[in-house]
Structure 1
Amino acid sequence: MGPMTAPRTVETWLTDMDGVLVHEEDAIPGAAELVQALRRSGMGFLVLTNNSIFTPRDLRARLLLSGIDVPESAIWTSALATAQFLLDQRPDGTAYVVGEAGLTTALHDVGYVMTDRDPDYVVLGETRTYSFEAITKAIRLIEGGARFIATNPDPSGPSPAGTLPATGSVAALISTATGRQPYYIGKPNPLMMRSALNRLDAHSETTIMVGDRMDTDIISGLEAGLRTVLVLTGSTQRHQIEQFPYRPSRVVDSVADLVPFVEQSAAGRAEA
């Protein structure tokens, strides 16, 4: 067997949002500079999030308040990935949705009809106002034959007041009642990465995924064939890395450490 070939030139960047670019409403040092460097570089990039509550326009506004200027077109949510998946699977379908504007808007935009009468799918997303009535309706529709989709498996999420139940926790409730497991679209499903690559018309061998969680960002990037960078400003700490049977391609303290690499990659592309 001959020597392994050197990695191909980086052409595209994917980066997680929470724990990588921001903590709640506060920008992580270096995040604004990284996005500026990516925009100057001419390389394709997307900011990914499992959060399905907000539309890309909402998220752009929230990031701007934190001092990070990300174009709306460069934000890819689990809601958008879910809508793309359903469009590919069953165009012009119908869905009963438990979720908020980020999810319902994404589904409307691909031509889906929202209904509680014999829908093709029950689609569960994150919301701050889960109702017993809506969950009961979802359970009965799934029992009646609707296919069960969830935007992401995250069991909980942060808030200024403390932990909040998230999509995975409510999905577990519905699964317990129905005996049916959902198909999760968001990370760690590598489908989320593949849909982002397709959005950019990018190739896995020339793409880097930046994340703060070994069990979502890094594993999904690895399984999609990407090079991965773990930043230590979020969930996974340095001492925890060895607990996992896989490793990121690189570990850095924060996204601030990646700004020179982006600039070097851009210079290399310009010379090529």
Structure 2
Amino acid sequence: MSEPKPIESWLTDMDGVLVHEGKPIPGAEDFLRTLRESGKPFLVLTNNSMYTPRDLHARLADMGLDVPIESIWTSALATAKFLTGQRPGGTAYVLGESGLTTALHEAGYILTEREPDYVVLGETRTYSFEAITKAIRLIVDGARFIATNPDNTGPSEEGVLPATGSVAALITEATGVEPYFVGKPNPLMMREALNTLSAHSETTAMIGDRMDTDVVAGMEAGLRTFLVLTGTTTREQVDRFPYRPTKVVESIADVVAMV
């Protein structure tokens, strides 16, 4: 077998890799600084659709992490790009926060409750029964069902929270319609990230903390994958999966020397 080509571009998850419960993970600042100094293109990926890249840039800066706005790629941006490719200038009924509504607005979508082309479900801390009921009725009437990501729970300082996947399951039970999930582990999000960087899969690596989203998405997109043990998946759980990352490391600090 030929030697793998050098890694020229990097994709990394955010929660569990760079930050954890509102604090930077040791080594994250060094990793980001080394990337910037190397000049290698990179994107920080997140399945969370609540925030705009500008919001996330500010939140990371408050933690001492310098990530340019243009280097943040969210499931909301991926969803907006996907819908633009499917139905340019379409209409959508949205359950989500400003990260999702802003991305759709900027993509030329009209947000409406009247006969929308799509019902688009994203992350929010204020899911309302009224809004979910409206979404169910619109889907029953023919709207296509899209969700930004399949994550069933999300982190908070108080504990886990129900996330997009859980609410999507509720809507599916009521309508019999399953959504198309755009975010990880859909390799579509990875390919769109590669296109954004003008990068090639053979020379790109993905860093994540979850086998069932980050690693499988990177693998299916043809990337080298690094699993860090500072998030969801533990070392003992790795062998339970039918696929493996390229390398398992303790934390992002162990990746710095590879940049």
Q: Under TM normalisation by the shorter chain, which class is it?
A: over 0.9
Alignment of 1:205 onto 2:176: no
- Distance in 2, matches of 1:243 and 1:163, equals 23
Identity over the aligned pairs, expressed in percent?
71
From 132, 146, 154, the equivalent of 1:149 is 146
Shift in Å, 1:163: 1.2
Question: 2:25 — aligned with what?
Answer: 28
CA distance in 2, matches of 1:150, 1:258: 32
Q: Cα distance, 1:212 vs. partner?
A: 0.4
Matched position secondary structure for 1:187: coil
Q: Quote the offset at 1:239 in angstroms.
A: 1.0
Normalization by structure 2: what TM-score?
A: 0.99
- Deviation string, structure 1 residues 136-194 (Cα, Å, up to 9, x no partner): 01000000110000000000111111111000000000000000000000011111101
* Cα deviation, residue 9, structure 1: 1.7
- In the alignment, residue 150 of structure 2 is paired with which amino acid? P
Matched residue, 1:270 = none
Residue 247 of structure 1 corresponds to which residue in structure 2? Answer: 244
**SS of the residue 1:225 aligns to:** coil
Q: 1:79 aligns with which of 76, 79, 92?
A: 76
Query: Quick one: distance in 2 between partners of 1:214 and 1:172?
Result: 22
Name structure 2 gaps, 5 residues minimum. Answer: none
What is the SS of the residue equivalent to 2:58?
A: helix
Aligned to 1:167: 164
Q: What is the CA-CA distance between 1:134 and the residue it aligns to? A: 0.5
Please, which of 50, 54, 58 is the counterpart of residue 53 of structure 1? 50
TM-score after normalising by structure 1: 0.94
In 2, the alpha carbon distance for the partners of 1:39 and 1:87 equals 31
Matched, 1:62 2:70: no
Equivalent residue in structure 2 for 1:40, among 17, 37, 51: 37
- Within the alignment, does 1:121 sit opposite 2:118 as a pair? yes
Instruction: Output the CA distance in 2 between the equivalents of 1:158 and 1:249.
Output: 27
Equivalents in 2 of 1:247, 1:83: separation in Å? 31
**Counterparts of 2:62 and 2:30 in 1: how far apart (Å)?**
15
Where in structure 1 are there 5+ consecutive unaligned residues? 263-272
**Alignment-mate amino acid for residue 257 of structure 2:** P
SS at structure 2 position matched to 1:96: strand
Tell me which amino acid in the other structure corresponds to 1:153. Answer: P
Residue aligning to 1:101: 98
Q: Which runs of 4+ in 1 moved over 4 A?
A: none
Offset at residue 11 of structure 1 (A):
0.9
Amino acid in the other structure paired with 1:242: D
Match of 1:179 in 2: 176
SS at 2:80 equivalent: helix
Distance between the aligned counterparts of 2:100 and 2:14, measured in 1?
18
CA distance in 1, matches of 2:120, 2:75: 12
Say which one has the larger Rg: 1
Q: Which amino acid aligns with 2:88?
A: P
Deviations 1:43-77 (A, max 9, x none): 11000000000000000111111111000000000
